[in-house]
Amino acid sequence: MSRNDTLFARAQNVIPGGVNSPVRAFRAVGGTPRFVARAQGPYFWDADDKRHTDYIGSWGPMILGHGHPQVVEAVTKAALEGFSFGAPTEREIELAEEILKLVPSIEQVRLTSSGTEAGMSAIRLARGFTGRNKLIKFEGCYHGHADALLVKAGSGLATFGFPTSAGVPADVAKDTIVLEYNNIAQLEEAFALHGKELACVMVEPIAGNMNFVRASVPFMTRMRELCTQHGALLAFDEVMTGFRVALGGAQSIYARLIPGFKPDMTVMGKVIGGGMPLAAFGSTREVMAQLAPLGPVYQAGTLSGNPVATACGLATLKLIQQPGFYEQLAVRTRQLVDGLQREARAAGIDFTVDSEGGMFGFFFADHLPQHYQAVLATNKERFNRFFHGMLDAGHYFAPALYEAGFVSAAHTAEVIDGTIEASRGVFARLD
């Protein structure tokens, strides 16, 4: 028995399913999760001391690779100064200033410890600001596990959403309207029916929780117009895409494609903490003024703006601003997905890819899906065999076809070539 197997058995005894976040349990692909012992650069080593090239990077945060010396130094220095005070620190201001500089739609920002908290707080703030209750989200987008967001579509647009999790009251779910991603007609219909009651539309601009699906430019343009017309806030969930697809996040990409475009609210996480628990939500001064202690919308956190986490986030944000950082990251990521596509074609396998900055997706399908149901229709058996083949060869992709992948600045051309090389044999043995 491998040490990973032993640890998994032991973990299942004391932790539900053996994991502290469900996707880690490998339920979608089967088999034993790899317990990570340590990591460096583009690699981690599992409990059996086997090396894996890491294409998850903690689901996005490790954009510099693991153990970047300057980040380690900043974290070590901060830890020596104290772990947590429950009182303000200068680094929180520095981090907020850095975020405002990089994401111009944000005029003020509040720090939290997780993306879930930030998303949940953004929705409370949107409701408090507008005095309305309803919100729109899209099937396949994930915004954390707050009650109002664990909702699936009802049978029609006039009907209420239903909870996707036990323990979520139907009363909470009924104010969430769930629509198909990239479906303009549905969005228009929902606004026609509920426009006056809508507090916000929350969207992953490039969805990374149904593999990798971009919002089309016409869809995003119409979403912006409808929100403005009806006085609903457009909330971008950039927990995954922020500082990942571009320095200014996905909103900087849509701003280039749609004149004058910007969201009203932004939720961030993952890269912002460089691997430490840190997230944020921001908006205009007018909206943020509704937040306690200035306004009536309550929101708080004992460890919010934690001094060690802010040190880690600040060091990370400084390093990703080096000239050419994102150009290089995008080239490496493209090298990976183009290489995988080439090998799949050579093996006669239907396979499509997409990437932006350091985030990528691939599908066992002949064209890129535009929404969640289309993602579900891709070839799951092939995905699972590919996943396990690559895992055996020491290349760690997300253990479910519903997840995006991530390349870091530590993934050199040689490292990526090694992965493409390994994929050749795996694609050849897929069927």
Binding region for ligand PLP (CB under 6 A): 114-116, 119, 142-144, 204, 208-209, 237, 239-240, 269, 279
Least distance to ligand PLP, CB of residue 126, Å: 15
Least distance to ligand PLP, CB of residue 140, Å: 11
Least distance to ligand PLP, CB of residue 22, Å: 11
Least distance to ligand PLP, CB of residue 273, Å: 9
Least distance to ligand PLP, CB of residue 95, Å: 16
Task: Using CA atoms of 90, 95, 96, 102 in order, give the dihedral in degrees to the nearest 10.
Answer: 150
Helix (H) or strand (E) holding 118: helix 115-130
CB 241 within 8 A of CB 249: yes
Catalytic position from the list 43, 142, 396, 402: 142
| Residue 372 three-state SS | helix
Least distance to ligand PLP, CB of residue 190, Å: 21
| Residue 52 three-state SS | strand
Catalytic position from the list 264, 270, 326, 372: 270
Compare residues 56 and 279 and give the one whose CB is closer to ligand PLP. 279
Compare residues 58 and 290 and give the one whose CB is closer to ligand PLP. 58
DSSP strand pairing (198-203 vs 233-238): parallel
Compare residues 226 and 271 and give the one whose CB is closer to ligand PLP. 271
Compare residues 4 and 408 and give the one whose CB is closer to ligand PLP. 408
Compare residues 18 and 275 and give the one whose CB is closer to ligand PLP. 275
CB 207 within 8 A of CB 213: yes
Ranges of beta strands (E only) in 160-305 are: 162-163, 176-179, 198-203, 206-207, 213-214, 233-238, 265-268, 279-283
Compare residues 39 and 203 and give the one whose CB is closer to ligand PLP. 203
To the query of whether residue 43 is one of the catalytic residues in this protein, the response is no
Burial of 349 (0-12, 13-18, 19+ CB in 10 A): middle
To the query of whether residue 237 is one of the catalytic residues in this protein, the response is yes
Compare residues 115 and 128 and give the one whose CB is closer to ligand PLP. 115
SS3 content of the chain, % helix, strand, coil (to 5): 40, 20, 40
CA 47 to chain centre: 27
Least distance to ligand PLP, CB of residue 121, Å: 12
CA distances from residue 336 to 96, 360, 398, 413 in whole angstroms, order as listed: 34, 9, 15, 9
DSSP strand pairing (176-179 vs 213-214): unpaired
To the query of whether residue 366 is one of the catalytic residues in this protein, the response is no
Catalytic position from the list 46, 54, 175, 237: 237
Question: Which residues have C-beta within 8 Å of that of residue 50, sequence separation ≥ 6?
Answer: 34, 394
C-alpha–C-alpha distance, residues 149 and 153, integer Å: 11
Q: Which of 431, 421, 408, 416 is nearest to 41 (CA)?
A: 408
Residues with a catalytic annotation lie at 142, 237, 270
